[in-house]
Structure formats: structure tokens, C-alpha cells
Amino acid sequence: MKTSYISDLDGTLLDSSAQLTQYTKNALNTLTKHGVNITVATARSPYSVRKIFSGVNIPLPMILMNGVMFYDNAKDEIISYNEISSDTAAKVIKTVKGFGITAFMYLISGKKLIVRHENIDTPYMYEFYRQRLVDYGKQFEFTKSLENAVESGIVYFTMLYDKSTLEPVCEAVSEIDGISCSFYNDIYSDMWYLEVFSDKATKYNGAMRLKEQYGFDRLVSFGDSENDIPLFQAADVKLSVENGCESIKIMADEILSGSDCVVKYILSDAGIDFYEKL
């Protein structure tokens, strides 16, 4: 039976400092060397996964930005992506601005992912901007007006505010045709994310496309958050980590605990004795 293992990153494969432990890095390289099919499905963009997986071989395409794109980490190349039409993007912006907030707007331009933004008006959004600029080299562009910055290639919107601010925005944006949303609590702080993307771009669709494209008979998934529910819906085996939210734990076939629990499960399931190879 041809199996693929697909893991979420933050709160699942990554440690509490949002990094891969050296044990997990070594285990991943050992697994892929033995032909085990592993990849990730995450809300993160190419900028951060490129740095996180430095020195780690993941041959399969990565499912990034909640299913917006397939990404080849070895080549640092966006393989394909799901675009939001300009008209739909304009509706998203109008709806968001109607609640007195703003967003980061992601678009593909010249095969590069860039992020346009207006004035950064909250500590949450500033910290998001600062960390991704300094730590990951994400390409940001300031614009006085998101409405006037709409063009082809728009793929994603991210908002970071408190839950009560974003709840009505999520409800309103969800009513726009062609749009899907992911709304969840950041595991590293008390802020909440609202992420908006094409309804063709979900972790479910990404996982199913991977299954079909590579002829996998069995998908094993790992997650911790509400935005992993679509990934679990695509999987034959569902594993939550111990710190997972209740909705994920209810769906899970098993709850994993302890450090490096994802790769330890894969090693056992694939029948590879990693300890002899240290």
C-alpha cells in the first residue's frame, strides 16, 4: 500500500519555538532516504518553510498557505497556485474595510510571492510583519490603498486581530462567492488569524490532488488546529497531537504525545529503525 504522510507545521511538527528539532530533521532525512513519502500542509508561505526546512530533503510538493499553492522546496519554486479573481479580491477588500480593519494581501508577481499592506495599525500585525521581514526575508510592499493595489495574481488575505473583531468579518467574507476562510487562534499568542483564499484552495483539495497525482492509496495526516479539519477530512488515518484543539481531537484516530511525536509515529508506521542510524 502506497502511503503519504502529511503534517501540519505549527503546533504539530514544529517545536514550541516554531522550529524543527535536530532529531526531527535527522529523522525526516532518514525517512525520505528510505523512500517514505512525507510532506506538509500549512498556512505558512514559501519564505518561512524555506528557512525552516533548510538542510531537510522533502521531495514531494508542499501544500502551502492552506492549500493555495504547491511548492517545491528543493528548487524554491512555486509549482502551481489558486488565484482569486480581481473582482472577487475587490469585494473582499471592501467587506474587510467596512469593518474598519485592514489586511495583508498576497499576490504572485513574476513567479515571486509578495505581500502588500497599508498602514500597520495593531501590535499584532506589526509583530507579524516584523518577524516575517527580519526572520524570513518576506517581501513586503507598502500601498496607501489596497483597493488601488488590486491586480491579477492575488491569492490570499491575512488579518490579525482579537477574536471578537474578526468573527463578524469572517461571517461576512464567507458569503462572497468563490471564497473560503480559515479562522483560528494563534498558538503562540492570544491573537486570532482570519485567512481568506480561493474556495478551490483548501488543505483538503491539496491533499486529494497529491493523492491522485502520485497514486497514493493511503493518506496519514497530523494536525492540531481548526485549519487542519479539511486535511483530516481527506485522510485515511488522522493523528492529533496532545495540544490539539477539541474539534481535532474528536476527529482523530489517535492522539500523540511527547517531543518529536510526529516523526516517531512515521518511523514506527513505516517500520524504520531510526535509532541505529544516529
Beta bridge partners of 225: none
State how far the Cα of 91 lies from the Cα of 95, in Å rounded to an integer. 6
What strands, in cross-sheet order, belong to the sheet with 254-256?
37-40, 3-7, 218-223, 237-241, 254-256
Average pLDDT, the chain: 94
State how far the Cα of 141 lies from the Cα of 134, in Å rounded to an integer. 14
144-184 tens-digit pLDDT: 999 999 999 999 999 999 999 999 999 999 999 999 999 99
Beta bridge partners of 4: 37, 219
**pLDDT reading at 277 higher than 60:** no
> What percent of the chain lies above the pLDDT cut of 70?
99
What are the Cα distances from residue 29, in Å, to 33, 102, 276?
A: 6, 41, 14
203-248 tens-digit pLDDT: 999 999 999 999 999 999 999 998 899 999 999 999 999 999 999 9
**pLDDT reading at 260 higher than 90:** yes
Domains and CATH numbers, the chain: 3-78+202-277 (3.40.50.1000), 86-198 (3.30.1240.10)
pTM assigned to the model: 0.91
Is 42 within 8 Å of 73 (Cβ atoms)? Answer: no
Is 136 within 8 Å of 177 (Cβ atoms)? Answer: no
Q: Binning pLDDT at 50, 70 and 90, where does residue 190 land?
A: confident
Mean pLDDT of 52-81: 95
Q: Binning pLDDT at 50, 70 and 90, where does residue 276 land?
A: very low
126-141 tens-digit pLDDT: 999 999 999 899 999 9
Please indicate whether residue 187 or residue 48 has the higher confidence score (pLDDT).
48
